[in-house]
Structure 1
Amino acid sequence: MDMTTVGDTGLLDTLQHQVAVFARRAEQTRLGGVGQVRNSMDRAAYLLLNRLDQEGPMGVKALAASMGIDSSTVTRQVAPLVDSGLVKRTSHPEDGRAVVLQLSPRGMSRLEEVRSSRRQLMAELTQDWAPEERETFCALLTRFNGALSARMTTSGVPAPETSEAS
């Protein structure tokens, strides 16, 4: 169903173009932050560490479900985080046979370092914005990501992370 009208075609063309430019620039810079921390953590690692921080220790299946990705992807992405000591594998407290992933103290420290750097970048990029503009942009971007996630879910495509705090 075509939901566009002649009047908003130009606006929607501009919107899709700006989203494409944003995606390219975000990937080029990874919106990684500033200073020595800049580009020092890839998106997958950041999102996994952030999710473990927000929701606490969990198994691979639960982590995958909460992020809208499959378990094999989580397993592959978490392996280097375990190897580098950012994530610990521990036994489930109620079922010692099950493995739980947990943010290590080193992982928490590293995550906070990256968050701080990214926060500084966001401050620099929006330094000449009024506080209300920042709030509006954040609300609209969150809403846009939610709509993308919902669309992917209804189309049978696993939804990427949409609600990560930085």
Structure 2
Amino acid sequence: MDMTTVGDPGLLDALQHEVAVFARRAEQTRLGGVGQVRNSMDRAAYLLLNRLDKEGPMGVKALASGMGIDSSTVTRQVAPLVDTGLVKRTSHPEDGRAVVLQLSPRGAARLAEVRSSRRRLMAELTEDWAPEEREQFCTLLTRFNHALSARTAQGGPAAAERSPQS
């Protein structure tokens, strides 16, 4: 079935335009938050630190798989995080030859600072929204991101342009 004929073409055009504008503005600001930490952590670093914080220590392959990117990309992106002390490499508890990546105390503190700044930004941007609108927007954006991620995983057009996933 030709998906371009499903739904209202005007609405689909408006949706794709708004997504494009959102992507451009999000990248311009990096949704970096407010205050001193504004724009101070790139997207890849934020997503890697966030995943390590939520899921705990893991190897490069597991981290890459969970983010929908390849191991070489994770290795390249994590190197500066190790160099700056935000992530540490440790031996796997069951296999001392294997290396796992772990959020360092410094990394956890820095992540908390960036999250707080970004939380303030989200509050400012949606200050005139009802709580239900914030919740609905979050639900729909999550659903949209999951659909994009699934499409990438299936080898759709976006697969050639793999980018860090949450």
TM-score (structure 2 length as normaliser) = 0.94
- Answering whether residue 45 of structure 2 is matched by residue 45 of structure 1, we say yes
- Answering whether residue 105 of structure 2 is matched by residue 105 of structure 1, we say yes
| Change beyond 3 A, Cα 1:6–1:136 | closer
In 2, the alpha carbon distance for the partners of 1:150 and 1:116 equals 29
Matched with 1:130 is: 130
Name the count of aligned residue pairs.
162
How large is the RMSD of aligned CA atoms in angstroms? Answer: 1.4
- Answering whether residue 7 of structure 2 is matched by residue 3 of structure 1, we say no
Work out whether residues 149 and 159 of structure 1, in 8 Å CA contact, stay in contact via their aligned partners in 2.
no
Q: Within 5 A, what are the aligned runs for 1:18-33?
A: 18-33=18-33
Aligned partner letter, 2:75:
T
Matched with 1:91 is: 91
**Percent of counterpart pairs with the same letter?**
85
Give the 3-state SS of the residue equivalent to 2:114 in structure 1: helix
In structure 1, runs of 5+ residues without a counterpart are: none
Deviation of 1:134 (Å): 0.2
Matched with 2:13 is: 13
Deviation of 1:159 (Å): 6.8
Work out whether residues 29 and 39 of structure 2, in 8 Å CA contact, stay in contact via their aligned partners in 1.
yes
In 2, the alpha carbon distance for the partners of 1:81 and 1:67 equals 17
TM-score (structure 1 length as normaliser) = 0.94
In 1, the alpha carbon distance for the partners of 2:113 and 2:69 equals 26
Matched with 2:153 is: 153
In structure 2, runs of 5+ residues without a counterpart are: none
Work out whether residues 47 and 164 of structure 2, in 8 Å CA contact, stay in contact via their aligned partners in 1.
no
Structure 1 residues 51-101: Cα deviation after superposition (integer angstroms, max 9, x where no partner): 000100001111101111000000000000000000000011111111110
In 2, the alpha carbon distance for the partners of 1:118 and 1:78 equals 21
Matched with 1:118 is: 118
Give the 3-state SS of the residue equivalent to 2:33 in structure 1: coil
In 2, the alpha carbon distance for the partners of 1:120 and 1:46 equals 16
In 1, the alpha carbon distance for the partners of 2:127 and 2:5 equals 36
Give the 3-state SS of the residue equivalent to 1:129 in structure 2: coil
In 1, the alpha carbon distance for the partners of 2:129 and 2:121 equals 14
Aligned partner letter, 1:143:
R
